Chains A and B, each alone.
Chain A
Amino acid sequence: MLRRAVLALPVALAARPARAAEARVTIDNFVFTPATLTIPSATSVTWANHDDIPHSVVSANRPPDFKSPVLDTDESFARVFDKPGTYLYFCGLHPHMKGTIVVT
């Protein structure tokens, strides 16, 4: 009986839908928090704007690898990071606002 139960376990896990790990970056007072977020590969990062002013999330690479639409108050944007590396980004409206995603 015990042997059968152990064998059944991986089958049960595989049957569940695949789900990426999740992480969040908040925007308050024109600041991305945390400024540097370190995540394992295949993590979905959600940025949420809590300011009264719109912001955006734009990769600092030229041309940008990713770019959110404009996020008005309480709007958010998610992106899955599936390749290890360091991703610098900034706010397209207020470029002094910067952040970094480190994918391990």
Chain B
Amino acid sequence: MDDPSASRRHALSCMAWAGGGLLWTIAGGIPRAALIGSAQAQTQGFTFAQLSDSHIGFTREPNTDTKATLGEALALLKTAPVKPAFVLHTGDVSHLSKPAEFDAAESILATSGLDTHYVPGEHDVLDEAGTKPFIERFQKRHSQGDAGGAYYSFDANGVHFVGLNNVVDLKAGGLGNLGAAQLAWLERDLAGRSASTPIVVFSHIPLWTVYAAWGWGTDDGAKALALLARFGSVTVLNGHIHQVLQKVEGNVAFHSARSTAFPQPAPGSAPSPGPMKVEAGRLRGVLGVASVTLVPGQAHLAIIDTPLGA
């Protein structure tokens, strides 16, 4: 940041790593970033938060206390300038789908006092019973798109929210998977909705191919995006890759959130996508939450990623 010749991209990544919350407003396909303090968009609109990859049960380096960092993430939401209307959790709530891990996550998440809408990550469906324990514990408030599917939709403040499950029935050599039944349900779910309805889709694995060599994408994600193509404002949120990444394609803004447990390396920058080892003092700078605001009159939602600490 001291070097005035530093590229804009470099400056942004510096701010992210130094712990400054970033506001992303995206208008006409051009992302603009500003520090949180200068955000005008926060003064109006409807805001919700995204949490992801809490991995309760993970106890190794670089984070031996994932319960504490999940608690800190919730505390951050409570003290945010704009209290979110609710939380979306984009999966890997637990590390190994153990009932004790789900118990711990549920009790910590309950401390937020915020309604939370969940989709599963691959770490949440490891039990022999598949999606059933996750649905019974975390998706009770919703009626399932198809029985046992772990996908659903709901409406809030004029926005249509679609929670997808792309972590089951995975195939050898493949990426994330939605499957024909879920795509057929999505088509029915979207049918008859006005093209001016803002749509927020949230899933665990990215719907777009971030990095196929590490499995960071969804085989039939493009089919879901084709069904969304007629809508004027589409926001696609995911977790799984434990880092902030975003791109805009036409009316669709893609955004990937940080984990509350541990960071993963940038695509292709390490031998594997395993947990990135960071010094204890730097851990909280690479964990965090996202808050998303629908700004009246703006096609794209404003997304702020806030790390847990410096």
Contact = CB atoms under 8 A, between A and B. Distances in A.
Interface of B: 60-61, 95-97, 122-123, 126, 170-175, 212-215, 271-275
A72 B95 CA distance: 10
A28 to B, nearest CB: 8
A85 to B, nearest CB: 16
A51 B175 contact: no
Contact of B213 (A70, A72, A88, A96): A96
Nearest to B215: A96
A47 interface: no
Given A70-B96, A95-B215, A90 B172 contact: yes
Contact of A96 (B60, B95, B122, B212): B212
Interface string A80-104: 0000000011101111111000000
A75 to B, nearest CB: 11
A77 interface: no
A30 B95 contact: no
Closest 9 CB pairs of A and B: A29-B272, A90-B172, A60-B172, A96-B215, A95-B170, A30-B272, A29-B271, A93-B122, A70-B126
Contacts of A53: 274-275
B274 A95 contact: no
B272 A95 contact: no
A49 B123 CA distance: 16
9 contacts: A51-B274, A60-B171, A70-B126, A88-B172, A89-B172, A90-B173, A93-B122, A96-B174, A97-B215
A22 interface: no
B60 A30 contact: no
B292 to A, nearest CB: 28
Interface of A: 29-31, 51-54, 56, 58, 60, 70, 72-73, 88-90, 92-98
Contacts of A52: 60-61, 274-275
Given A30-B273, A73-B60, A92-B122, 6 more contacts: A52-B60, A52-B61, A58-B172, A94-B215, A95-B172, A96-B214
A70 to B, nearest CB: 5
* A contacts with B: majority SS: loop
Q: Which of B122, B171, B271 is the most central at the interface, judged by chain A CB atoms within 10 Å of its CB?
A: B122
Nearest to B168: A92
A103 to B, nearest CB: 18
Nearest to B270: A29
Contacts of A60: 171-172
Contacts of B275: 52-53
Contacts of A89: 172
Contacts of A93: 122-123, 126
A96 B274 contact: no
A73 B212 CA distance: 24
B2 to A, nearest CB: 36
A98 B170 contact: no
Nearest to B177: A95
Contacts of B273: 30
A88 B213 CA distance: 19
Contacts of B61: 52
A57 B300 CA distance: 42
B272 A96 contact: no
A6 B108 CA distance: 72
Contact of A72 (B96, B175, B212): B96
